[in-house]
Amino acid sequence: MAVRAVAAAPFLALWVTSAQQPAPPSVLYEQHIFAGGAAPPAGKLENPFQGDKKSAQEGEKLFAAFNCDGCHGGGAVGAVGPSLADGRWRYGGADGAMFHSIFYGRPRGMPAFGGILPPDAVWKLVTYLQSLQPATDAATVSWSK
């Protein structure tokens, strides 16, 4: 526990600044079919750190410091929460979809982190998860409940 608290300390600064940043817009899911063919007003979110190794490393530290690994397992290979490293997504692996999953949470047990993490930190987590290479022999585990 003490180790966890020390590991989280550098991220407290991020937490303090998060309250001042406005919430990002809703995410447009281009692959969805909309009622009446009219897309709702929504923005297209793009990862500002796409492919950046340093951001991915910082995201990896955040993944442990904010206990994502407590549910998704070390290396995000899956535990009580689904694997985020097998290349399969329930809500999508695109920038905006992943941002939405982390910032706003998802209904079957994924907490919203937007209240404690500023958008930059969420994007670093997205960058880390996108840097994980799915194994060629990914197990066919069903994570749905």
Q: Quick one: 38 or 61, whose CB is closer to ligand HEC? A: 61
CA atoms of 30 and 14, how far apart (whole Å): 31
- For residue 113 the two structure tokens come to 């982190």
Q: Closest distance between ligand HEC and the C-beta of residue 55, in Å?
A: 14
CA atoms of 27 and 40, how far apart (whole Å): 10
Q: Quick one: 34 or 89, whose CB is closer to ligand HEC? A: 89
Residues that bind ligand HEC (CB under 6 A): 66-68, 70-72, 81-82, 84, 89-91, 98, 101-102, 106-111, 113, 125
Q: Closest distance between ligand HEC and the C-beta of residue 52, in Å?
A: 17
In a 10 Å sphere around its CB, with 0-12 CB exposed, 13-18 middle and 19+ buried, how is residue 58 labelled?
A: buried
Residues in the chain: 145
Q: Closest distance between ligand HEC and the C-beta of residue 76, in Å?
A: 8
What type of residue is 51? G
Q: Quick one: 38 or 139, whose CB is closer to ligand HEC? A: 139
Q: Closest distance between ligand HEC and the C-beta of residue 6, in Å?
A: 18
Instruction: Decide if 96 contacts 30 (C-beta within 8 A).
Output: no
Q: Quick one: 27 or 98, whose CB is closer to ligand HEC? A: 98
